[in-house]
Structure 1
Amino acid sequence: MTTPTTSTSPTTSTTPTTSTSPTDALGALDIHLIHEGRHEELWRVLGAQVGEDGVTFSVWAPNALEVQVTGDWSGWDGSKHPMARIEESGIWSVVVPEAQVGSHYKYRLRCADGAWVDRADPMARYAEKPPSSASIVWDSTYEWNDEEWLAQRQHKSPVDEPMATYELHLASWRKHYSGDLYDWHEMADSLVPYLTDLGFTHVELMPVMQHPFGGSWGYHVTSYFAPDARFGDPDGLKVLIDRLHQAGIGVILDWVPGHFATDEWALARFDGTPLYEDPNPQRGWHKEWGSHIFNFGRNEVRNFLYANAVYWLEEFHADGLRVDGVASMLYLDYGREHGEWAPNKHGGRENLEAVQFLQEMNATVHKRVPGIVTVAEESTAWPGVTAPTSQGGLGFDLKWNMGWMHDSLGYAAKDPVYRAHHHGQMTFSLVYAFTENYVLPISHDEVVHGKGSLLRKMPGDRWQQLANLRAYLAFMWAHPGKQLLFMGCEFGQESEWAESRELDWWLLEHPEHAGVHAMVRDMNHAYTTSGALWARDRADDGFQWIDANDAGRNVFSFIRRAPGEPDVVCVANFAATPHEGLRLGLPTAGTWEEVLNTDSDAYTGSGVGNLGSVTAVEGAHHGQPAHADIVVPPLATVWFRRVEE
């Protein structure tokens, strides 16, 4: 579909009259709430609303002198449908009888300098497939089948539930042999059984909002309310989410409120002025990412964003939002040198308006959609990211633990002979593990831009790399916090991730990679069925070191526990040699089942183990009342679970 380019004047200039009352689609209360920044269902009144008399188009463009709606029904002649300004609201509206579901359209605006520009609808719920950029009138007819899932979700507290999340980039997970992308339906057919087999509890989709440049991975958004048309129409995304819910898998969407794309047909200088972006270049331009920053101090802009959050949770039944780049929103000096930023009214570097927005967003979505989860990608020590807004916190449920990620990957990348000198990199996270509610993220950012795949970060020969990978993942899954793993890591992807090609699925034909895959499946099953590993993630009484200081043997041992659940003990050996007869303190005498051993023959390990269980006897050791002499395999993690007599 080809749409007209920006022009200096329309075919025919028609000056619209000013409406003295709102249209039927947009009432006085709606306008009041939008002005106050409190309209929680913005998508129901702005944009293209399908009705009995045609389609009502409404757009916020307060600084435009004239606005028209132009579309394929009129041969893209905007003069046929001038829009009326609704009093002093800055909103323009018109009813077009000829428009219908599937019609392509844009807004044509005359700016203060007299220039006419064409813009996509900021509230469009469907958009053309890039590189085309028109908006499409849409009215969903999808009927959901996930009532049981939603009914259960509203009574859950996600931070106290198991969460093993598979991070997914839709365009590079799988592709047709021709190189074409899977559509939403094909993705459901492939992804749902795959995740069900592996036992992941959640999938996190990298941004599904419309973005013109695939190489941005979805983080430079142009249409915040429109799912990516590369994969089909908006109801297709609902099919995918519905199918995942029916399989018992939650869906978290990446969401990008911190910055937006610069494309001239989208949000940038929408009505000829910095409308959505902050007009101050020290606050409105993101140097690091080359994009615009939203004006968080403007009511209508904050409303646009948090209504967008509600939209994805309510209209698409998403189970959560992972908010990208929170740190870049919180600090006025983020990515800026001295002299490139100005302090806030208190003289500090905090972006007070962004803080208000994040608190407002979190309070709103949790009020409207009980049981959902919001996750902050926040890389600093900002206090109270997961504290309630009522206590001055930001109100997120979970925060990515970037410190754990950097420290643990730094340790794992070292040859075992040097690890004893860096033992603290694996234990330091427990100093602060319960100050926030954490996710342990091994995300796409760690396997791209020259960082290499997770497998290739590991030292040694091929066998050692695979063994290190399995041991690392099992240590991670036993560590306090929720889990997130980027696609491909579950089978030992060899090459660095690239968004232009699919994962190396052929590796699963090799036993050693199939072994990693099988270990992740078994690990997820052991994790989800062991409440001790997740029920007390946010409380220090759910964790206890057995021995945090065995640097000489590169061994870490600890207990995970929760009320009413059998204790689970994790022993991780990051030395290249086994340790036989290692005396391990245990909380009770009796039988301890070996529920996971990453060195198992089934995973192409060396097969060293404890014959399925160990027996602990009375006798204090490591500060515990009982002990057992165990075998710890090389480059391996073993989980033991107390067997109730």
Structure 2
Amino acid sequence: MALRDTSPPESAGPRPRTAPALDAGDRGRLLSGAHHDPHALLGAHPVPGGVLFRTLRPFADAVSVVIDGDPTPLVSEGDGLFAVVLPLDAVPAYTLLVSYQGAEHKVDDPYRFLPALGDLDLHLIREGRHEELWKALGAEPMAHQEVLGTRFTVWAPNAQGVRVAGDFCFWDGTAFPMRSLGASGVWELFLPGVGEGARYKFEITSRHGDRFLKADPMARRAEVPPDTASIVHASHYEWSDGDGDWMAHRGDVPVHVAPFSVYEVHLPSWRPGLTYRELAEQLPAYVRDLGFTHVELMPVAQHPFSGSWGYQVTGFYAPTARLGTPDDFKYLVDALHRAGIGVIVDWVPAHFPKDDWALGRFDGEPLYEPGDSRRAEHPDWGTYEFDFGRIEVRNFLVANATYWCEEFHIDGLRVDAVASMLYLDYSRDSGQWTPNVFGGREDLAAMAFLQEMNATVYRRNPGVVTIAEESTAWDGVTRPTDSGGLGFGLKWNMGWMHDSLQYIGKEPVHRKYHHNEMTFSMVYAYSENYVLPISHDEVVHGKQALVSKMPGDWWQRRANHRAYLGFMWAHPGKQLLFMGQEFAQGAEWSEAHGPEWWLLDAGYASAGDHRGVQDLVRDLNAVYRATPALWERDTDPAGFRWVLGDAAEDNVFAFLRHDAQGAPLLAVSNFSPVVRHDYRLAVPAGVPAWREVLNTDAERYGGSGVGLPDAVAARDGELRLTLPPLATVWMAPSSV
């Protein structure tokens, strides 16, 4: 029987022919995920006699190239490689038809696309000066060459190869090797058809041949822990920010001469179980009712372990997924702004955890951490420190600071653990550290990073304030960078916090021996721009809640608590109070349970005691905001004058605060449990009478109700008062 001719008809044109075999070395590197330029092997390329089409589709039964609607089968080369040469004059527009177990899928070929990252981006990355790094690295949904998909980019300069793995390829990255973009250390791949919500990681092959999966350092969204994948994200949130007024005017008054009273919050435990959007329905109203000007959020960046409270960050560009999406977090920030409340977030550039799927040894080598193991590991926290001497790492962090301010409209960054960054010998013994080039213990690279971060944030984001948690006497933390300082706007006054808590924790009979612990802060009060912090760190791990630090019975502890807050709000510097302390909960804070809101319930027998303290905080903030003397000259020595600073035997402190026009407010604290009658104070001769504007001993706050007349006359510059027990009284000039 004659054989049937199966060749295509004459009209079909020249026949396809077998592709030349790949070089064995190239083939091996491509299949093992160790090739630096897979686009040179895959996709469509002119060759003698036509155009070579080659694709890598593991587990596919068959692949065809489709040109003008006509499919042409590719020949299997084994290991998921398919190729063919077509007699064409130029590379045409084409798609692929991939068959898996009889099901055909029409797809665009990722290897027909030009790089989706520009030369300017690469130049800025190499220079360590890309201030919008999040727009260049990570996963960016986009239209590229008129095709929708996602551009994946990652910095991994020590890798042999990088591939993209995700739920769109059953977590097998074999089909999607990325190309190296030269000396930048950046790898790139545009994946058509992959969009928002896709989960992914980078599959990295180290220079030693090890292969492992890493979450994206630049991921803008991540899975809910304990899952660790990154998620492709694009924001669709439309800001209102009070119809635009907030962002336009938040910088009208510099923070140093404005009221600044901060409520510190741990979002997951403030009302356990609430999402970002649910918190937006409750938190702004609560904070506004109490009169705080700002909230400070403990770290909201993605972190794997809840017990770290957010201070061990694995996803620096992603808000924690525990409470919702990035757009949900924006909704919360927006709601706070609409309520007239600024938002500060804790930012943690000092260190990061060692989780094997995160930043540590990211491309198989120390990358974000120093190569010197003595310097890489933080001795206190079991984490890695950042390599501040590497420009790409500094760029990653500086851009991250601006990212939170610009993408999430954050009004302030409180920088955690600054001291641990500034000193080479921080928590290290002799022999465990190396001096700087001048023989000193200062980390010059960390200094330069902090200066660059502050200068960049302030230049790009008017109205934003940076705040240092710096526990030493480092000179110039809040001095401008052009004057040699670190450039922070404010600094936590850890000395005031430590000394004042030491004093207030003593029995009144012993306080006279510790009197200078309450006055010493004024020796250095104007050396920096200060915040007075009673933060979460002071009410956990055996340190006791604020009211429980106080001596005496329940009445005395509450009275001490109230008097201390009155002293704090009057003292030069801004204020910060951690949640739960505003109503004097007696238990330490627990991240599992949060504030003990039940103490305020009407059915609780002592609810009135706690509501009294809460009422005081509300009134402290109200009078504070309405009294420029308490904030307008916080950084000006002329705004403060001791009236009585040496009455150690009486446990009494009295001082004046003055606003820019010289109008005074008198603050008097009696930290003894006795009423002091006819107590004499020298006051400005030009004020004939004074009136009480706030008294922490008022009955409505739970006090004894020892108050002052509507007006107290001063004679010959002397004021005679009745001082309530364990109380602070604020007085202003009276027109009567």
> CA, structure 1 residues 469+23, in 2 after alignment: closer, same or farther (shift >3 Å)?
farther
Q: Is the 8 A contact 2:33 2:163 kept in 1?
A: no
| 1:87 and 2:182 matched | yes
Match of 1:445 in 2: 537
Which residues in structure 2 correspond to 1:11-22 (within 5 Å)? 13=33, 15-17=35-37
Per the alignment, do residues 394 and 644 of structure 1 end up closer, same or farther by CA in structure 2, a change over 3 Å counting? farther
Instruction: Please tell me the residue identity of whatever aligns with 1:57.
Output: F
Match of 2:687 among 569, 589, 595: 589
Could you tell me whether the CA contact under 8 Å between 1:358 and 1:394 is conserved in 2?
yes
Aligned match for 1:166, one of 263, 266, 269: 263
Q: Which runs of 5+ in 2 are unaligned?
A: 1-28, 41-111, 602-606
Amino acid at match of 1:519: L
Which residue in the other structure is 2:731 paired with? 640
Instruction: Report the structure number with the largest CA radius of gyration.
Output: 2
After superposition, the Cα gap between the structure-2 partners of 1:457 and 1:10, relative to the gap in structure 1 and judged at 3 Å, is: farther
Task: Indicate the larger mover: 434-443 or 155-164.
Answer: 155-164
Indicate the residue corresponding to 1:598 in structure 2.
696
Partner of 2:278: 186
Partner of residue 133, structure 2 = 42
Q: Which residue of 2 aligns with 1:521?
A: 618
Return the offset for 1:453. 0.6
Question: Given the alignment of the two structures, is residue 299 of structure 1 paired with residue 319 of structure 2, yes or no?
Answer: no
Task: Tell me if structure 1 keeps the 8 A contact 2:353–2:384.
Answer: yes
The residue that corresponds to 2:570 in the other structure is 478
Verify: 1:65 aligned to 2:157, yes or no. Answer: no
Deviations 1:143-171 (Å, cap 9, x if unpaired)? 11111011111322111111110111111
What amino acid maps onto 2:152 in structure 1? F
In structure 2, the CA distance between the partners of 1:120 and 1:541, relative to structure 1 (3 Å rule), is: same
Is the CA contact 1:14–1:79 (under 8 Å) kept in the aligned structure 2? no
Residue equivalent to 1:110:
205
Give yes or no for contact 2:113–2:190 (8 Å, CA) kept in 1. Answer: no
The equivalent residue for 2:660 is 563
Counterpart selection for 2:436 from 344, 347, 362: 344
Distance 2:391 2:33 in 1: 32
Q: Which residue is 2:644 aligned to?
A: 547
CA deviations 1:367-403 (Å, max 9, x no partner) are: 0001110000001111000000000000000011111
Identity %: 56
SS of corresponding position for 2:183: coil
1:497 to 581, 589, 603: 589
Q: Residue 78 in 1 paired to residue 147 in 2? A: no
Q: Give the structure 2 partner of residue 630 of structure 1.
A: 721
1:563 is displaced (CA, Å) by 1.8
Letter in 1 for 2:333: I
Greater Cα offset, 30-39 or 584-593: 584-593
1:58-83 deviations in whole A, cap 9, x for unaligned? Answer: 00000111100011111112011110
In 1, are the aligned partners of 2:471 and 2:494 still within 8 Å (CA)? Answer: yes
Q: Are 1:125 and 1:234, in contact at CA under 8 Å, matched by a contact in 2?
A: yes
Residue 10 of structure 1, CA deviation: 11
| Length, aligned pairs only | 625
Q: Which of residues 258, 281, 291 is equivalent to 1:199?
A: 291
Q: How does 1:243-392 map to 2 (within 5 A)?
A: 243-392=335-484
- State the TM-score, normalized to the length of structure 2: 0.83
Structure 1 counterpart of 2:35, one-letter code: T
The separation in 1 between residues aligned to 2:395 and 2:38, in whole angstroms, is 25
CA pair 559-86 structure 1, distance change in 2 beyond 3 A: same
2:142 matches 1:51? yes
TM-score by length of 1: 0.95
Give the Cα separation in 1 of the matches to 2:735 and 2:352. Answer: 55
**C-alpha root-mean-square deviation of aligned residues, in Å?**
1.6
State the alpha-carbon separation in 2 of the partners of residues 488 and 630 from structure 1: 33
Aligned to 1:6: none
Deviations 1:458-487 (A, max 9, x none): 000000000000000010000000001111
Distance 2:694 2:238 in 1: 42
- Is the contact between residue 489 and residue 529 of structure 2 (CA under 8 Å) also seen in structure 1? yes
Question: Which amino acid letter does the alignment assign opposite residue 616 of structure 1?
Answer: A
Alpha-carbon shift at residue 578 of structure 1 (Å): 0.9
Q: Distance in 1 between matches of 2:361 and 2:34?
A: 23
- 2:363 partner SS: coil
CA distance in 1: counterparts of 2:547 and 2:39, whole angstroms: 63
Q: Which amino acid aligns with 1:35?
A: R
Q: Deviation at 1:575?
A: 0.3
Return closer, same or farther for 1:615/1:24 CA change in 2, 3 Å cut-off. farther
Instruction: Indicate how the Cα distance of structure 1 residues 629 and 260 shifts in structure 2: closer, same or farther if over 3 A, else same.
Output: same
- Is structure 2 residue 195 aligned with structure 1 residue 100? yes
TM-aligned CA distance change 1:567 to 1:337, over 3 Å: same
Identify the range of structure 1 (369-378 vs 495-504) with the bigger mean alpha-carbon deviation: 495-504
